[in-house]
Amino acid sequence: MTTFTTSDAIGEREQLADVIYRIDPDETPIFSAVKKSTGNGIFLEWQIQELAAASATNFATEGADASIAAATPTVRAGNYMQISQKAYAVSNTLEQVDKAGRERESQYQRVLKSLELRRDIEKAIGDTNVARSGSDPRKSASLMTWITNGSVGSGSTFSAGLGTDTVTVGTAASRGLSLALIDDGMQDAWTDGGSPKMMVTSAANRAVFSDLSASGNLIQNQFNMTKAKETTYIGSTSIYLTDFGQIEVSPSRFMSNDKLFLIDPDFVEIATLNGRNFAENSIAATGDAEKFQIICEWTLKPLAPKAHAAVLDLDGTAA
């Protein structure tokens, strides 16, 4: 007797899951952690105030006239609004046919392109060495060009710290990561009034940092169990306790191995132009399809650049 199997049968329905699984990551640690604000112009300006240096000889003679010192002026800082966009087109036929995993293709593409746009902004902020530019297309100065605390490798120099110029990278600047470099950056930022709370690194530097964490300056994780369970091995460090504050380690899929940032989220913002914060525009149809564009006009706004630090010219290995 011949068995009639499914491979012989005609008419078996296709089993397509009604769920779409996204593999690409959409985590954006810097974009998600910093404050958000709005602006009304393409060049956003703010003022940075520093206090006069503390004096150990501030004593006065009884009855003496007041000694008036020169006031410490503010520093005027600014950054340009950068236009970032994603566009997509959906045929009218695709919009109407029955689809698995989503009802309307245009809505599904809107979600995907918004996630992609947020990832682009994250990479522009944290993984580029770009000074501000008012020439078309305008560019927002990246985070690296605002930081002067921390350390650079041999032959490299920080920028002026106002987003107006880029970091100069030496030809022989690469070096390994050490806890001392992180500690020095934390100390620099703390001395200038900051309290970095997050360290953003690449995957390689995240792994290196965990290997370096045998110094003992760690927050311990304790597990209390009411019954025996399989052994859990912990090989990573999420929180690092320095002499100048506790810092959370945030790996980023969009950062290269040559840098890490120590960020105080209280002193940095992402500002967007009113009405241009992930705004969706319909584009005139030129055929049997609907076209859309998602626009974000944004700029990076470090309220106090010296509250942050960076360790640059790394090579993704341990020192």
**Is 93 inside a domain boundary?**
yes
**Which pLDDT score, from 0 to 100, does residue 69 have?**
83
**Is 229 inside a domain boundary?**
no
Quick: pLDDT tens for 229-256.
554 444 455 888 889 999 999 999 999 9
State the pairing for strand pair 289-301/279-283: antiparallel
Q: Say if residue 205's pLDDT is above 70.
A: yes
**Is 19 inside a domain boundary?**
no
**Which pLDDT score, from 0 to 100, does residue 166 have?**
97
More confident call, 285 vs 133? 133
Count of beta carbons in the 10 Å neighbourhood of residue 90:
18
More confident call, 138 vs 97? 138
Exposure of 57 in the CB half-sphere (CA atoms within 13 A): 0
Report how far residue 100's alpha carbon sits from residue 92's, in angstroms, rounded to the nearest whole number.
Answer: 17
Of 93-102, 104-113, 188-197, the one with minimum mean pLDDT is: 93-102
Round to the nearest angstrom and report the end-to-end CA distance of the chain. Answer: 72
**Is 258 inside a domain boundary?**
yes
Q: Say if residue 17's pLDDT is above 80.
A: no
Q: Say if residue 299's pLDDT is above 90.
A: yes
**Which pLDDT score, from 0 to 100, does residue 53 have?**
81
**Which pLDDT score, from 0 to 100, does residue 232 have?**
45
Q: What is the CATH number of the domain that holds 276?
A: 3.90.1690
Report how far residue 210's alpha carbon sits from residue 237's, in angstroms, rounded to the nearest whole number.
Answer: 5
Quick: pLDDT tens for 30-70.
999 999 999 999 999 999 988 888 889 888 889 988 888 88
Mean pLDDT of the chain, nearest integer: 86
DSSP code for 197: -
The residue range of the domain holding 96 is: 29-43+77-167+175-219+235-318
Number of domains in the chain: 1
Count of beta carbons in the 10 Å neighbourhood of residue 40:
8
**Is 9 inside a domain boundary?**
no
Strand partners, 297: 83
As separate numbers, helices (DSSP H) first and strands (DSSP E) second, the chain gives 5, 15
**Is 66 inside a domain boundary?**
no
Count of beta carbons in the 10 Å neighbourhood of residue 237:
18
Quick: pLDDT tens for 67-91.
888 888 889 999 999 999 999 998 8
**Is 281 inside a domain boundary?**
yes
Of 22-31, 64-73, 196-205, the one with minimum mean pLDDT is: 22-31
**Can you give the pTM of this predicted structure?**
0.85
Quick: pLDDT tens for 127-160.
999 999 999 999 999 999 999 999 999 999 999 9
Q: How far is CA 240 from CA 49, 137, 254, 306, in A?
A: 30, 40, 22, 21
Q: Say if residue 126's pLDDT is above 50.
A: yes
**Is 20 inside a domain boundary?**
no
